[in-house]
Structure 1
Amino acid sequence: MRRRILLWLISSATALGLVLGMALLLAIAWDDAAKGGCRGTLGTLMVGVDGYVYAKGHYPPATVPTEGLPPEERLSWIVEILPFVEGGGPWLVDRTMAWDEGANRILRRRGKFSDERIFVEGRDRTGWTHCPAHDTVFDVAGHELTSYIGIAGLGLDAAELPLVDPRAGVFGFDRLTPPGAITDGTATTMAAAETTESNGPWKAGGPATVRGLDPSRQPYIGRGRQFGGTHRDGAMVAFADGSVRFIRATIDPKVFEALSTIAGGERLPAGWDR
Structure 2
Amino acid sequence: MTGHREPHLRSVASGPGSVVAYEQLAADLREAITSGRYATEERLPTEAELVATSGFSRQTVRRAFQELSNEGMIYRVRGRGTFVLPHDARYLRSFGNIPDLMSLAVDTELRVIEPLHVRADVSLTSLLGAGAESVMSMAFTRMHRGVPFCFTRVCLPLDVGARIKDQPEILRLTEPGAVSRTTIIALVEAASDDSIDSAQQTATACAADDDVARHLQCEIGIPTLRIDRRYLGISGRTLEYAINFFHPDRYEYRLQLRGKRN
> TM class by shorter-chain length?
under 0.3
Q: TM-score, normalised by structure 1?
A: 0.26
Q: Which has the higher strand share?
A: 2
Larger Rg: 1
Q: With CA pairs under 8 Å and 6+ residues apart, which has the higher RCO, 1 or 2?
A: 1
